[in-house]
Amino acid sequence: MTQFHDLQEYIAIPRVEGLVMSPDGRQLVAVVKTLTQDRKKYVTSLWDIDPDGQRQPRRLSRSQEGESSPAFLPDGTLLFVSDRPGPKTAKDADQDDDEPKPALWALPAGGEAFRVATRPGGISAPVVARETGTVVFTSETLAGDAADDAGRRKLREDAGITAILHDGAPIRSWDHQLGPGHPRLFALGAEAAGQAAADSASEPAARDLTPQPGLALVDQDADVTPDGSAVVTGWFVPDGRAGRYSELAAIDASTGQRRTLLAREHTDFTEPKAAPDGRAVVCGAELCGTMTEQPDKTLWLVSLDGSQDRDLLPGVELWPGDHAWSPDSATVYFAADQQGRAPVFAVDVATGSVRQVTHDDGAYATLTVSPDGGSLYALRSAIDQPPTPVRIDAPTGEVTVLPAPGGPLALPGRLTEITATAPDGTALRAWLVLPEAAAEPAPLVLWVHGGPFSSWNAWSWRWNPWLMAAQGYAVLLPDPCLSTGYGREHIRRGYGKWGDATFDDVMAITDAALARDDIDQSRTAMMGGSFGGYMANWIAGHTDRFDAIVTHASLWKLEVMLTSDEGYQIIREFGDPTEHPGSWEANDPSRHATKIRTPMLVIHGDKDYRCPIGNALWLWWDLLRNQVDAKFLYFPDENHWVLTPGNATVWYETVLAFLAQHVLGERWQQPRSL
């Protein structure tokens, strides 16, 4: 028996989520999520990981409220964000004690943590200038003078006002409303931590660098140059009334003066990282798709003086993700999807030559480079391994796993890889999770990933196939067209024609799996979330080959997606539905509602603003009126992912009960928790 055989044991496994290295390279700090004692939620804490891998991990923080977003000052002091209670200051007088906001804290080596800064709207995402120690962070702030933010909030609260007046888009993001406050960037001088430590009754005032940002900084990342003189950040600007695109901006940390570093039509520049020598910035560049051009991603290099900018990866068919500079500013390391993996690559800034650093089956993220440049540190995961801190030898790519909470885990089966050929001759591949050896072939669950620009290459706590394997199922994880890691042509094959093209690929790889002797072709199910939910709905209307279908956070009536927080992205691909109704109709699963015969389990969270609940409500009505055997698992307080431990448990209990009924032929047994 493993922890995957018992949902209560599974949800209690510690989960490593972040990684940051001290300036001297002697300390590696991880963010670890654990279950609270009452098992109702998760909290994060900070752990010391040995960069050499010789000693066991050591917990650094222990508050009930949790700690996150670690960052180091040049002297080795560890900054973090927490809403733990702190000393009362003059700023606290106007704040509601019942709703503590995340504040900035500091933990010196060998000392006690103390609070550095607070804001009425909370603090998030601190970044530090590696030479001067200037700290830049984000805080939600109401329109007007930042110094009087607490007063304006109190006026709204006292008057019972919750209304938000919008004049642009988006108005929601993932699971929360945008407004009435908007993110602003604030800066603290290097002396701030020392001042706060010396006088706990007062806190240094942070400089408001972006007094009138509007929606420009929503969901944006920022970095600060080594000397603390400038902040670089993505900056959203309107694209018509409903759309937006992201420029790259540089903000003077003393005056707040902003200038545009990069701006291109139909391109988003995000996730900037300032070079250690302070001369340049590398950022992600995403070419947004249109009706005639598919999307693409690359890394872009721009000098801070604006003298030059260029694509760092011209002609390279990789979609780069996390990226980090070498200490000498000569190399940029990045991770990118590739054939069901996500290796680390290195690009020489001067020559543009690219080499692959790692060559295993891992998917790497959260890259950080040692001060001497000899090692990279990252979180490595795979379909069969949760995120784990590792050290990568920069020249050779040799990977060393570092001791960390939560691992290693015993799995209830094994992982293999299968291939197939699509009807158009394209080579296809998929991961296949097989349960522990059994006397008879295993029933198969086809699980289509979300995105759609994504890949089954990394561990997922939320969409975990090993929980299915523990119950005896084989799980097929395909990368059909639109999946990343297979070049531009693989995306082009499905771009603008989601349903038919992806359906053909998925059916071809499913046929290959069912041809195996260890798979029972008479017992099958299909499931998917987000875009995978879209495909679940599409498959339900185009074949009855499966015994059951589970659709989570799905797209059903395609025009409902115009109410999504990123509805404009779909308009870019399919066009305005009033001007191009044909592309919307051709890709709309709801047009095939009367053809559905397969039992379906519909799952949706009411706070899902990425794939709004209207999709599920409309789908549920269509299933009922067409007398399809169906159930609807509804979460009033969950978002796109279903994150709380109790609801995540219910999710799996209900899915497994539904599959047991329709795939294994067992009697329906409603989960006790429901």
pLDDT along the chain (674 residues), means of 10: 95 96 96 95 97 95 95 96 82 58 93 94 97 97 96 96 92 92 94 66 84 95 97 94 90 96 94 98 95 94 93 95 97 98 98 97 98 98 98 98 93 98 97 92 98 97 97 98 97 95 98 98 98 98 98 96 90 92 96 98 97 97 98 97 95 98 96 89
For 632-637, the CB contacts below 8 A with 24+ separation are 632/601, 632/602, 632/603, 632/604, 633/601, 633/602, 633/603, 633/604, 634/603, 634/604, 634/606, 635/603, 635/604, 635/605, 635/606, 636/605, 636/606, 637/605, 637/606, 637/607
For the chain, the first-to-last Cα distance in angstroms comes to 26
Sheet holding 442-448, edge to edge: 413-421, 427-435, 474-478, 442-448, 519-529, 548-552, 600-605, 630-635
On whether residue 467 sits in a domain, the answer given is: yes
Question: According to the model, what pLDDT value does residue 193 have?
Answer: 66
**Residue 160 backbone dihedrals phi, psi, to 5 degrees:** 70, 30
Residue 293: inside a domain, yes or no?
A: no
Residue 297 placed within a domain: no
Task: Quote the pLDDT of residue 93.
Answer: 53
**Cβ atoms < 10 Å from Cβ of 50:** 18
Number of domains in the chain: 1
Q: Is residue 526 part of a domain?
A: yes
Instruction: Please report the pLDDT score of residue 598 as a whole number.
Output: 98
Residue 562, domain CATH: 3.40.50.1820
The reply to whether 658 falls in a domain is yes
pLDDT (0 to 100) of residue 192: 72
Dist CA 635 CA 638 (whole Å):
5
- CB atoms under 10 Å from CB of 439, counted, come to 4
Quote the crossing angle between the two packed helices 498-514 and 531-540, to the nearest 10°.
80
Task: Judge whether 497 lies within some domain.
Answer: yes
Q: Is residue 454 part of a domain?
A: yes
- Residue 275 falls within a domain, yes or no? no
Full residue range of the structural domain in which residue 531 is found: 413-662
231: which strand partners?
224, 251
Phi, psi of 527 (to 5 degrees): -150, 160
Q: How far is CA 109 from CA 53, 58, 60, 78, 191, in A?
A: 20, 14, 11, 8, 17
pLDDT for residue 479: 98
**Nearest one of 311, 137, 123 to 224, comparing CA atoms:** 137
The whole-model pTM stands at 0.95
Contact 140, 193 (CB under 8 A): no
Structure tokens at 307: 């003298």
